[in-house]
Amino acid sequence: MRRGRRLGIDVGDVRIGVAVCDPDGLVATPLETVAAGPDAVARIVELVDEVGAFEVVVGLPVSLSGREGPAAAKMRSFCAALRAAAPGDLQIRLHDERMTTMTADSLLREGGRSGRSRRKVIDQAAATVILQGCLDAERTRGTAPGETL
């Protein structure tokens, strides 16, 4: 298991959820919700610097059959913008995000969050699910999952 902090992000059309893990890569926790738009990439680069992350794990939206569609193409464009703005040594990894929002919503509901309060943090929770899934897979497999950009 590689040591170091990572950010997990769940990119949406309105909001981008951000999560971070501990330096040992054991536990992902919610960090922030960033407004989607022209300043989003710059804020994520700031967060990378603030937490000292060596990698950003980005949720890749694919269909249940595993095919990539228009949403995945948008994500790849977002990652290209992040790559252009980020420090050269930052690793960017795409990780399958199928069912993460549903999982995050279920966890928040089980935790007693009402519908309105869930909407405020669902993106952070989804980013946490994405990052934790990536960490768990790396620990199990011995290699980092997903696609490195």
Give the chain as a DSSP string: ---S-EEEEEE-SSEEEEEEE-TTS--EEEEEEEE-STTHHHHHHHHHHHHT-SEEEEEE-B-TTS-B-HHHHHHHHHHHHHHHHS-TT-EEEEEE-TTHHHHHHHHHHHTT--HHHHHHHHHHHHHHHHHHHHHHHHHHHSS--SEE-
Say what the pLDDT of residue 97 is. Answer: 76
The structural domains of the chain, with segments of one domain joined by +, span 6-141
Say what the pLDDT of residue 112 is. Answer: 62
Say what the pLDDT of residue 96 is. Answer: 84
pLDDT tens profile 89-122: 999 999 987 655 566 556 556 666 656 655 666 7
Residue ranges in the chain whose pLDDT is less than 50:
none
Say what the pLDDT of residue 62 is. Answer: 81
Q: Give domain 6-141's CATH superfamily.
A: YqgF/RNase H-like domain (3.30.420.140)
Asked whether 14 and 119 are in contact (CB, 8 A), the reply is no
Phi/psi zone of residue 4: left (φ > 0), alpha (ψ -120 to 50 degrees), beta?
left
Say what the pLDDT of residue 114 is. Answer: 59
